[in-house]
Amino acid sequence: MSDDQTPSATPPETSRTRRARRRGRQEALPRTQVTLAKRLLFITAAVCIPIALLLAVELILRISTDHGGYPPTIVEVGKRGDATVCITDKLGPASYFFANKSQPGSIETYSFYKPKPPNTIRVFLAGGSAIKGFPQPMGFAPSAFLQLMLSEVWPEHRVEVINLGTTAVASFPVLGMVTEALAYEPDLIVVYSGHNEFFGAYGVASMHRAGNTPTMMKIHRALHRTAIVQWIEGFARPSAAGDGPRTLMELMVGQSYTAPDDPIRDAAARNLKMNIGEIIELARLRGVPVMVCTLPSNERDLAPLGESDMTHLSAEQMTIVTNALKAAEDLSDASLAEAKLVDVLTICPEHARAHYLLGRVRYSKGQFDEARQSFQRAIDLDPMPWRCPEKSMQGLREAAKDGGAILCDVRQVFREASPGGCIGWELMDDHVHPALAGQALVARAIVQALISMKGTLHVSEDAYAALPSDEQFAERLGDNVYDRYGAAHRIRVLCRVPFFQKTNPQAYERFNRICEELLSKMPHEIAQTCIKWQDPMMHPGAMRPITSMIGRVLIRIGRYYDAEKLYEIATRNVAEYTSWSLEYNYFMLVCRERTNGRLSDADLALAQECIERGILLLSRGHSPTGMAERYIGRLHQLRGEWEAAIGFLHAARTKLTSSDLVAVDHALILSYVRTGRRNEAVQLIENGIANSGAFAEHYREMRLLLNPANWKSGMGGLAD
């Protein structure tokens, strides 16, 4: 081979040649054809298998745990004759408090029948704690006043007013609760909502920005309905102990500062309008009229609850503003205070407290229209908007107008009843909750608005004009010094909230002074009982009426007539289908027997009614404490049904301890001796002497019951 025939070196393989070589090998292999049907099958399986797995997990969790779904606000608890007893239940509204489940807002328990009794007008009130009646007990809420007033103007009808008011809920939960109520034959829905649109359950400042539209709230609610999400939350939820002793108002604050131009102010107004509009539309489809109320606030006597941001001011401006605000607090020289506040608003035109103080100055000068405008501006700019601002109020008005609902201008009614047309302490107990006089005025405003109605709900002007005064209605409901003390104490506790104390220290001072003055006028033992009532340990589960505790004291000192009146009030301050209702009715009837020497036929019928309620409670497992059995037995004894009482008292003693067990044994021994079962009575007494420890002496005294001569004495009586 010649030199010129020598082969050249192989060129290096590049990335391009490698790709070409791979393509060549692939083309040499036979190609598998994937049909469209197979592709669709694969996609379907990829989507459906995870969904099926999730559904399976959801089903397993729903079957094996108590997760999944939401409890209803209205529960059907059992039959009474041909009707079903329905109650409003706290677990339904509590389900809206996903962020602080350890301390949800509460609803009072009202009972009614399904189907609605003939010739009955049924009204549902819906909204937050202001319409619920806080700080008053349920017997002095707007619903109690409204039921009395409507019974006056519609004497030919039986009137029911059922209050769905729930502490710290925005309008979205109100929509959910009203949706349930529409299935229970309402004749009228009254909506009183808007104060909690920022910080309430499903309020715009209590949720993530991405979830504060009505549509996203519905999606959020639907997701939290699933057992899977609830199960996961059970692990992720922080300990309830972390909440400490904080009030619900403190827990609901999602952000302590809301700027004047913060978009959530528009979102709050939008949500309120949309949710109220949806309530009106749902009710319209069922032929139920809706009344929308405007909301009064304490304009004149409470400053903004939040503090305006002044970090953008220079040091010199900050000094001017701070000094001017301090000087303006003193109204001794109104003209000087006004001049200083004008200087503040020149530097910081959106300073909420400056507008409030300017309103006070103008009010002191008799410039009431200008003062009201300043007070409203302060509410609208409040960095912590717990009071419904004007933009949201306008949303209420527009929703009512667009949906053809009745507008009840409660705020205007309050202004007309206030000195200078500016709402303050005369009608309000804090920033949004009416005082006792305000509770009555809310009800009167609703009745007045019904003058414009046609048909069954129409109230004639003559009937409205003939209504007794609000003070007379309060007297009928049992207005008393003890419930006034209780309401003042509840507000005193609220006013201890740190941000409340910082911006409105005078509020705590006011209600602390009221409490101390009321206590100073009470006998020592009763005053001590009021102080004891304040202890949360006295109220497992719920706060018992203060009148029930004072009533016990009055029975002990023999003031049966006065005790009867307090127990009558207490029965109206608790739900009918509770052991408390049985207890308070029992003691009320005992007092009547002691006062009158006997029970009337109406009294005996009431005792029987209470027994039937208690039996329904027991049939539903609603008395784990034994107190229902105890007082069913005692009510039977009041009716002279000594034998019928024995089974219930036996059942009660298996659940009770300490002094409660001694009291039940006392009643059981009384039934034994009355029915000739002396040996069983003796056996129970001897067992108590031998085994009750510190209570042995009480059992020794029960030996007196074995002598019929003692049956009518205090020892043999029924007032344990």
Q: Alpha-carbon distance 375 to 370, whole Å?
A: 9
Compute φ and ψ for 161, nearest 5 degrees. -120, 115
Distance CA 313, CA 27 (A): 75
- C-alpha span between 665 and 649 (Å, rounded): 8
Instruction: With H, G, I as helix, E, B as strand and everything else as coil, classify residue 456.
Output: helix
Which H or E run contains 250? helix 248-252
Domains present along the chain, CATH in parentheses = 74-299+390-477 (3.40.50.1110), 315-381 (1.25.40.10), 541-710 (1.25.40.10)
Whether the link from the prior residue into 93 is cis, omega within 30° of 0, is no
Which H or E run includes 615? helix 601-619
Inter-helix orientation angle 214-223/263-285, to 10°: 70
- Token pair 């309020």 in the structure block, residue: 203
Give this prediction's pTM: 0.89
CB-based contact 292:400 (threshold 8 Å): yes
Give the single-character DSSP code of 619. Answer: H
User: What is 386-404 written as a DSSP string?
Assistant: -S--HHHHHHHHHHHHHHT
Angle between helices 658-674 and 642-653 (to 10 degrees): 150
Question: What is the rounded distance in angstroms from the CA atom of residue 316 to the CA atom of residue 565?
Answer: 64
Cα–Cα distance for residue pair 677/670, rounded to 1 Å: 10
Cα separation values, 708 from 605, 633, 669, Å: 27, 20, 12
Task: Answer for the pair 292, 406: CB distance below 8 angstroms, yes or no.
Answer: yes
Q: What tens digit of pLDDT does each residue of 106-155 get? A: 899 999 999 999 999 999 999 999 999 999 999 999 999 999 999 999 99
Cis check: omega of the bond before 296, within 30 degrees of 0: no
Which residue in this structure is represented by tokens 């109690």? 144
| Low-confidence spans in the chain with pLDDT less than 70 | 1-34, 57-58, 61, 99-103, 207-211, 235-255, 541, 622, 709-720
Whether 131 and 148 have beta carbons less than 8 Å apart is answered as: no
Task: Answer whether 162's CB lies under 8 Å from 124's CB.
Answer: yes
Hunting for tokens 């081979």 — which residue is that? Answer: 1
CA dist 675 → 532, 651, 681 (Å): 40, 18, 10
Q: How far apart are alpha carbons 209 and 205 in whole angstroms?
A: 8
Amino acid at 674: R
The four Cα atoms 605, 609, 611, 616 give a dihedral, to 10 degrees, of: 160
Contacts with 668 (C-beta within 8 Å, 6 or more apart), sequence order: 633, 646, 649, 650, 653, 684
| DSSP string for residues in 509-537 | HHHHHHHHHHHHTS-HHHHHHHHHHT-GG
Can you tell me the distance from the alpha carbon of 549 to that of 530, in angstroms, rounded to the nearest whole number? 8
Q: How far is CA 512 from CA 93, 494, 507, 516, 532, in A?
A: 32, 11, 9, 6, 16
Going by C-alpha positions, the residue among 515, 587, 602, 509 that lies closest to residue 544 is 587
Supply the Cα-derived Rg of the chain in whole angstroms.
33
Helices and strands (H and E) in the chain: how many: 32, 8
Cα angle vertex 247, ends 241, 250, to 5°?
Answer: 100
| Cα-based distances in Å from 521 to 256, 375, 379, 480, 558 | 40, 36, 37, 13, 20
**Token couple for 422:** 């500016």
Amino acid at 493: V
Question: How far apart, in whole angstroms, are the C-alpha atoms of residue 549 and residue 554?
Answer: 9
* pLDDT single digits (tens) 362-404: 999 999 999 999 999 999 999 999 999 999 999 999 999 999 9
In angstroms, the CA 631 to CA 621 distance is 16
Determine the Cα–Cα distance for residues 566 and 546; give it in Å rounded to an integer. 9
192 phi, psi to nearest 5 deg: -130, 80
Residue 482 — left, alpha, or beta (φ > 0 → left; ψ -120 to 50 → alpha)?
alpha
Pairing type for strands 111-114 and 83-88 reads antiparallel
Torsion of CA 493, 494, 497, 501, to 10 degrees: -90
Check residue 574 and give its pLDDT: 95
Q: Name residue, tokens 């109204």.
A: 331
